[in-house]
Structures are given as C-alpha cells and as structure tokens.
Amino acid sequence: MVDPTTIAVDLAKSVFEVAVSSEPGRVCLRKRLTRGQMAAFFASRPPSTVLMEACGTAHFWGRRHSRLGHTCWMFCSTRRSSPVPVKDVWQQAMAGLHRIRSGWIATRTARLNTVTIAFATPPQISINRANPTTPPATPALPLVAWRSPETHVRPLVDSLDADSNCNRGAGHRVRVMRI
C-alpha cells in the first residue's frame, strides 16, 4: 500500500529544504538536508509522492527517488498547472543538444543580420566638423557594394585585405556609423 504522504523538496546546490505533509494543507515535518542526508532520508521513507520545481537537477533527483519507489512530479514555475515528467539521461542529453543548436542558430542569425545591415545601406560617414579638411575615418566603398551584397562582399573583403593601409592585423576594425 502506498503511503498518502506528500514530500515537497526545494532543490539547491548543497542544502535542500524538505517539507513532509500527511494531510492536505498541513506540514508535519520540515528538514534541511545536505546531499548525503537527502539520499538517506528518501531511502528510509515509505513510497510517497515527491514534488519538486523543474530544473536540471530535479531530473537527477527524480530518477533517484523513482528508483526508491517514490512517485515524482515536477512543476515548472511558468506553467503552474501542468506537471513536467522526469526525463531519463538520454532525454536530458538530447534536450541539452537542442539548446546548444538553438544557441548556434541564434548566433549565426545575428551575425548574418549584422553583415546584411552593414552592407545593405550606404554608411553615414562622420567628418570632423572642427576641421573639415580631415579625411573621414572610414574608407570610401563603391555604392554598388551596398546594392548587391551577395556578389560584392567577397571581392570587397579581398581588396581590403590586399590594401596595406587596412591590413594592420587582427585588431584593426573599419568604423562605420549608421543613421
């Protein structure tokens, strides 16, 4: 027979708060446990319902408590009504890979947008108003490069690399101001 006890766990890095309730709305036991004490605490308890907030370590502890016979439920703080199932190691690893891939796609998209913005419209070149004879700080680029970046970006980059004035090492950057 399953004990109708509910155990709520507040997960942290090294110290966990545990609240045990045998009746709805009443907490009969509160404990502060370390990692080692938490494993021993759940091993000594009869099978119960365990509630945790969904996070990366919640899946680890959920798998561990499930092996001891407890029923584990995790709740996401943004979706209060829907429980999150305990993921096995494979599912958690795949979710991590998908997050990494999403990050790569977001970074790639941001870089492509930067290149598109940089070469899609003509730059607003600033001139020193105190001394109008001072040449602008940015090299003049042909307007055709701004109209069709797909066909002109590579030759433009190659010509900048070949120019001895612009090839000053990895730290040199061309400064272009936008409207």
How confident is the model at residue 78, as a pLDDT?
Answer: 74
Domain termination residue (choose one: 87, 107, 141) = 87
If one counts the domains in the chain, the total is: 2
Residue 76 structure tokens? 């996401």
Do 78 and 16 lie in one domain? The reply is: yes
How confident is the model at residue 128, as a pLDDT?
Answer: 54
Do 125 and 82 lie in one domain? The reply is: no
Low-confidence ranges of the chain (pLDDT < 50): 1-2, 143-146, 164-179
Do 11 and 74 lie in one domain? The reply is: yes
Give the relative orientation of helices 89-120 and 56-67 as an angle to the nearest 10 degrees: 170
Tell me whether residue 107 is in a domain. no
Domain that holds residue 160: 121-179
Tell me whether residue 141 is in a domain. yes
How confident is the model at residue 127, as a pLDDT?
Answer: 53
How confident is the model at residue 170, as a pLDDT?
Answer: 47
Alpha carbon distance 58, 87 (integer Å): 9
Tell me whether residue 37 is in a domain. yes
